Amino acid sequence: MLIHKIRPQGYCKGVVNALNKTLLIRKENPQEDIYLLNMLVHNKQVMDYLLSLGIKLINGDKIQALSNIHKGIIITSAHGTPSHILDYIKERKLTLIDTTCYHVQANMDIIINKLKEKKIIYLGVKGHPEAEATLSISDNIFLIENIKDLEKLNKEINYAFISQTTISLLQIKEITNYITNNFKNVEIINGQCQATYLRQKAVLDIKEEYDLIIVVGDENSSNGLKLFQLAKNKGNAIYISSYKQLNETIKTLNKIAITSAASTPAYLVEQVINYLKGEEIKELNLI
């Protein structure tokens, strides 16, 4: 069987930064209670590892949960945090470690600047932490997920358009085409991060035919799911979080390509390859 690893894939700089910061905080503060405000990154195996170090995940209503914490270190996720929650942590004088990825922060800074003169059309995923953090900036940011949402907006006023960092290239193209043809005055800003762009472009650029493209990612990973959408345009594709979801019939295929989300540890991909080759499954380092 020929197995092609699509490159680049796996951890982006934002994930590495968030993980390194969190592990260092754990190491330097062995006695402190440490809390993650959300999934640090969207990967279950990474989260299980962090929880195994005694780090706690805050579930449910953040403000209510924080009101019951009197001492400890609060770590935000790489995807950003709504401003009212950051303000509350500071107000409560809890120690705050912000791991927001600089691409996410850069997009929010652009939006804050553009809001001085226009409203914002924001292409994002409803309920995703990055979208929630961005929408918390102002009521003049309109979240859209598709063209139907765009149709509800006043087309005569001035806007800037920007997307969440992990949106699909094809979706951005579809939406910007619609905006250009139907709205009067919209400044188009590229919001996709470099890591997402390069991983998606590598899938879009696939020239050879494969029996199957495997995308390894977590069910919560926005960039992983977008990679999967693009992979499906190229032929047969599956989205898995672990080699354990595969079965023996896959070993009858001749050509397989494999890629992974920006929050997928490399060892999960190696395990998939071990499985496909009939090798012993190695437990590798998460970081």
Residue positions annotated with a catalytic role: 130
Q: Tell me the CA end-to-end span of the chain in Å, nearest whole number.
A: 29
* Maximum separation of any 2 CA atoms in the chain, in Å: 62
Contact between 78 and ligand SF4 by CB under 6 A: the answer reads: yes
Residue selected from 66, 75, 101, 143 as contacting ligand SF4 according to rule CB under 6 A: 101
What is the number of alpha carbons within 13 Å of residue 17 lying toward its C-beta?
A: 14
Contact in structure between 141 and 118 (CB atoms under 8 Å): no
Structure tokens at 174: 């579809």
Taking phi first (over 0 means left), then psi (-120 to 50 degrees means alpha), and beta for anything else, what does residue 92 get?
A: alpha
Q: Which is nearer to ligand SF4, 43 or 166 (CB)?
A: 166
The single residue among 40, 195, 230, 276 that binds ligand SF4, judged by CB under 6 A, is 195
Total residues belonging to the chain: 287
Give the per-residue contact string, 17-56, with ligand SF4 (x = CB under 6 A; - = no).
Answer: ----------------------------------------
Closest contact distance (angstroms) between CB of 232 and ligand SF4 is 20
Helices (H), 68-209: 83-91, 102-114, 129-135, 147-151, 169-182, 194-204
Stretch that binds ligand SF4, among 6-14, 183-191, 202-210, 250-258 (CB under 6 A): 6-14
The contact mask relative to ligand SF4 for 103-132 (x = CB under 6 A, - = no) is: xx----------------------------
Task: Please give the structure tokens belonging to residue 140.
Answer: 């003049």
In the bound state with ligand SF4, the residue whose beta carbon lies nearer, of 209 and 219, is 219
Per-residue binder mask for ligand SF4 (CB under 6 A), 227-266, x = binder:
-----------------------------------x----
Query: Could you say which of 22, 165, 200, 260 contacts ligand SF4 (CB under 6 A)?
Result: 165
Asked if 12 interacts with ligand SF4 (CB under 6 A), we say yes
165 versus 256: smaller Cβ distance to ligand SF4:
165
* Residue number, nearest CB to ligand SF4: 14
Q: Is 166 in the site for ligand SF4 (CB under 6 A)?
A: yes
Closest CA to 65 of 89, 43, 82: 89
Closer by beta carbon to ligand SF4, 15 or else 85: 15
Stretch that binds ligand SF4, among 25-33, 81-89, 100-108, 234-242 (CB under 6 A): 100-108
- Residues 39 and 221: their CA atoms lie apart, in Å, by 11
How far is 8 from 126, CA to CA, in rounded Å?
27
Tokens at 20, concatenated: 């390194």
Give the distance from CA 216 to its chain's centroid.
Answer: 13
Euclidean distance between CA atoms 30 and 233, whole angstroms: 48
Strand partners, 6: none
Interacting residues toward ligand SF4 by CB under 6 A: 12-15, 78, 101, 103-104, 165-166, 193, 195-196, 223, 262
